Structure 1
Amino acid sequence: MKDHLRGYLTRLHAALATISAEQLAELSDRLYRSYQDGKQVFVLGNGGSASTASHMAADLAKNTIGANMRRFRIMSLNDNVPMMTALANDMG
């Protein structure tokens, strides 16, 4: 089991090392500007990443509910099966 965990952590570390801090900062800035401007943001994932997209959308939407707070307009397309299948059907 320890070998499996070490291997997982090694692969995780290698994957994280490929993420550009500049690109992550740009994504963060774009999300914040979208929130400030009241724009709708869509996220999605394929396979297991669909649950990550759902989790992200839920956290961002939930954590902006409060007195005098603008609601973050974010939707995971994976959570809307009719929309997901319509897009796949109509747009390929």
Structure 2
Amino acid sequence: ERFRQVIWPGNSTTVPKGWEIPTNGKKLIVGVPMKKGFFDFVEVKRRSINNAETILSGYSIDVFEAALKKLPYSVIPKYVYLKSPVNYD
């Protein structure tokens, strides 16, 4: 049995190549939990008195940013800090 043709966003039948140059200025929003513990995976530090500068570190951040660098197009992340989630469900 034959499959129907794929219709991509924008009602196109051409396979998208991905973003080569961000044209709309939008960033990929990434939620980062500010939960105590597991600092080897993700740690969020506030560096200045008014909390304007935030430093992210840890294994999960390193792996995520390394994966972004391997993509054949540019993705600019915007980290959003989530305060102490009760659970991840």
TM-score (norm 2): 0.26
- Of Structure 1 and Structure 2, which has the larger fraction of its residues in helix? 1
Q: Which has the higher contact order (CA 8 A, sep 6+)?
A: 2
Instruction: State the structure with more CA Rg.
Output: 2
Which one has the bigger strand percentage? 2
